[in-house]
Chain A
Amino acid sequence: QKEVEQNSGPLSVPEGAIASLNCTYSDRGSQSFFWYRQYSGKSPELIMSIYSNGDKEDGRFTAQLNKASQYVSLLIRDSQPSDSATYLCAVYGNNRLAFGKGNQVVVIP
Chain B
Amino acid sequence: NAGVTQTPKFQVLKTGQSMTLQCAQDMNHNSMYWYRQDPGMGLRLIYYSASEGTTDKGEVPNGYNVSRLNKREFSLRLESAAPSQTSVYFCASSEAGTGYKPQHFGDGTRLSIL
Contacts and interface: CB of A to CB of B under 8 A. Distances in A.
Interface of A: 31-32, 34, 42-46, 49, 51, 88, 92-93, 95-97, 99-102
A46 B43 contact: no
Q: Which of A31, A49, A96 has the most CB of B within 10 A?
A: A96
Contact of B43 (A31, A42, A99): A99
Which label, helix, strand, loop or mixed, suits the secondary structure of the A interface?
Answer: strand
Contacts of A32: 99-100, 102
Interface of B: 40-45, 48, 58-59, 90, 98-100, 102-108
B41 to A, nearest CB: 7
Contacts, number: 45
Contacts of A92: 99-100
A26 B59 CA distance: 17
Contacts of B100: 31-32, 51, 92
A97 B103 CA distance: 9
